[in-house]
Amino acid sequence: MQSKAPVLEIKALSFAYDREVVLEDISLRLEQGDLLAIIGPNGGGKSTLLKLILGINKLQKGIIKLEDHHIGYVPQNTNINIDFPIQVIEVVMMGRRGNKKTIFGYSKEEKLRAFSLLEKVNMAHFAEKKIGALSGGQRQRVMIARALYQDPELLILDEPTSSIDADGQREIYELLKQLNKTMSIIVVSHDLSILLEYANRVAYINKRVTHHDLSSVKKEYKFTDKHVCEVELLEMLGSCRC
């Protein structure tokens, strides 16, 4: 039986702003069903890598293969224009191709599609609320619903739990765990405590990339508390043969 092509494959990627090298010889492969966590220090190149995958930055050196998969993207900042008087369901419909409301408004089919996605992220009861009236965690769920509008096979999220309380963070990651059953996911995060419970792979980006398969680490670690010691986790990642 022939194996399926990877959702994303990056080979020998390097990138520089002017003469400053930000990424060097990055190779990365994302299989169908993976939940990849990208971690690393500020300025290490994580955001630049996302911009290259999304086509925001022009590729300079190397190869990025996406195999024509649709990509859903959830940016880090969900506070942009929260004072604009737009309903939650309209924000979701902005995820359609073209991203613009027609002169005749949205169709019945588009509204039904948006409502079904709000149901999927448990936000349907907020459909007619103004986006600015929601909490940070609620807005993030709406942004995820918007990213799902085009049925992506790959969902990319940049710091999805930043500025969200602990309960909201867990709700977001539980949602991603469910979505991961039908799509591959890349999450950029500083929240190391989520790695063992939700991700199956980790890429540490600091100009170069170090890969970690978490299966061996998970076997050694038993959850006894909701909090994971980040120092202990980094020690385990450093000692695993990945």
Q: Where are the domains of the chain?
A: 1-15+28-69+153-242, 79-152
Higher pLDDT, 219 or 90: 90
* Displacement of CA 178 from its chain's centroid (Å): 14
* Average of per-residue pLDDT across 187-209: 84
The confidence band for 1, taking pLDDT boundaries of 50, 70 and 90, is very low
Average pLDDT of the segment spanning 162-186: 90
The yes-or-no verdict on residue 60 having pLDDT over 90 is yes
pLDDT band at 235 (very low <50, low <70, confident <90, very high): low
What mean pLDDT is reported for the chain?
83
End-to-end CA gap in the chain: 27
Mind listing the pLDDT tens digit for each residue in 82-92?
A: 778 889 999 99
Average pLDDT over residues 37-53: 92
Single pTM value for the model: 0.84
Beta strands 35-39 and 208-213 are unpaired
57 backbone φψ class: left, alpha, beta (φ>0; ψ -120 to 50): beta
The Cα–Cα gap between 202 and 35 comes to 9
Across residues 109-137, what is the average pLDDT? 93
Other beta carbons within 10 angstroms of residue 228's beta carbon come to 19
Going by CATH, does the domain composed of 1-15+28-69+153-242 fall within 3.20.20.30? no
In angstroms, the CA 221 to CA 200 distance is: 14
Higher pLDDT, 63 or 168: 63
Question: Higher confidence at residue 14 or residue 204?
Answer: 14
pLDDT at 165 over 80: yes
217 touches 206 (CB < 8 A)? no
